[in-house]
Structure 1
């Protein structure tokens, strides 16, 4: 496979650091990217995804879905099509963890220590 046909991607993490660049076939799907990001996530980060469901990829302001192909993420402008594409990675906890945290908060009695009145 010729190198021009490969799509070069790098992934920008929440703290501004990058993973990559990596090369993919244009026919690779977004699920393959998720798997690689989870497998190669830096160990020194405070926030780390447990699996592909904890990751969102953003390219040109849009969250990428599973069925999208890497080749569809290219910029169609002249020499920019050969440039490295930067995708933003958002790692977030799964929905089950969020619901558990909300239940724990609801069980703790809340006290209003500083009542406020607006006149």
Structure 2
């Protein structure tokens, strides 16, 4: 992650290719706090957006970041350029109820024909 005097500039990349940010965070910020900040910036017009921190996964340098770690602990010395911008990929997990409903509609599409 980009770091300048214990500050990290982060841009969030969504699965549709759009971005939220960049925004600057202290290196001591926890991943859970970062997710809360992200939730506050989420476009309100999207109905399938995340509702809680548990609905989100943040990925940086190919690793899923754990909620209890700080941004400073998650830094990758091989991938980060000092003073640069870090892009984190955001994955929104489908709530279990919606996933089951989608599967039920797909399962009910089969038709039997007896000749």
TM bucket (normalised to shorter chain) is: 0.7 to 0.9
Q: Which residue of 2 aligns with 1:111?
A: 111
Over 3 Å counting, the alpha-carbon distance change for 1:75 and 1:106 in structure 2 is closer
Q: With structure 1 as the length reference, what TM-score do the two structures score?
A: 0.74
Tell me the CA shift for residue 11 of structure 1: 0.4
Structure 2 spans left out of the alignment, 5+ residues: none
Structure 1 spans left out of the alignment, 5+ residues: 114-119
- Count of aligned pairs between the two proteins: 110
More helix by share: 1
Tell me the CA shift for residue 87 of structure 1: 0.2
Q: Which residue of 2 aligns with 1:52?
A: 53
User: Which protein has the larger Cα radius of gyration, Structure 1 or Structure 2?
Assistant: 1
> CA separation in 1, counterparts of 2:16 and 2:102?
24
1:64 aligns with 2:65: yes
C-alpha RMSD over aligned residues = 2.7
Is the CA contact (8 Å cut-off) linking 1:53 and 1:94 kept in structure 2?
A: no
User: More relative contact order in 1 or in 2 (CA 8 Å, sep 6+)?
Assistant: 2
